[in-house]
Amino acid sequence: MAANAAKGKPTLALLVALTAPLALGACVAVENASEIAPDAAASRQFALRDGANLAQASLAIVSVAGAPPAIAADFSRRLDGAARTRQLVVVDPDKARYLVRGYLSASPTEDGAEIEYVWDVFGADKRRVQRLNDVVEVKGAGGDPWALAGEAALTSVAAKSADDLAAFLSNTPEAAPAAAAAEPSAETALGYAALK
Please count the other Cβ atoms lying within 10 Å of the Cβ belonging to residue 86.
Answer: 17
100, pLDDT greater than 90: yes
Q: Are residues 58 and 98 in contact, defined by beta-carbon separation less than 8 angstroms?
A: yes
Residue 34: partners with Cβ closer than 8 Å, 6 or more residues away: 126, 127, 128
| Average pLDDT across the chain, whole number | 75
Per-residue model confidence as pLDDT tens digits over 168-187: 999 998 988 765 444 444 44
- At 79, which amino acid appears? L
93, pLDDT greater than 90: yes
Length of the chain (residues) = 196
**3 state SS of 61:** strand
Q: At the topology level of CATH, where does 42-180 sit?
A: Maf protein (3.90.950)
Residue 42 pLDDT grade (very low, low, confident, very high; cuts 50, 70, 90): very low
- Rounded Cα distance between 98 and 59, Å, is 5
1, pLDDT greater than 60: no
Count Cβ atoms within 10 A of the Cβ of residue 140 and give its class: 0-12 exposed, 13-18 middle, 19 or more buried.
middle
Average pLDDT over residues 154-165: 95
Per-residue model confidence as pLDDT tens digits over 46-89: 788 887 888 889 999 999 999 999 999 999 999 999 999 999 99
- Rounded Cα distance between 117 and 161, Å, is 8
Q: Using the 8-state DSSP alphabet, how is residue 94 labeled?
A: G
Average pLDDT over residues 132-147: 89
Q: Using the 8-state DSSP alphabet, how is residue 124 labeled?
A: T
Q: Are residues 23 and 150 in contact, defined by beta-carbon separation less than 8 angstroms?
A: no
Helix axes 151-170, 69-85, angle to 10 degrees: 50
Q: What percent of the chain is helix, strand and coil (3-state, nearest 5)?
A: 55, 20, 25
Q: Are residues 170 and 52 in contact, defined by beta-carbon separation less than 8 angstroms?
A: yes
Q: Are residues 172 and 46 in contact, defined by beta-carbon separation less than 8 angstroms?
A: no
More confident residue, 29 or 194: 194
More confident residue, 114 or 6: 114
More confident residue, 191 or 63: 63
**pLDDT value at residue 143:** 78
9, pLDDT greater than 80: no
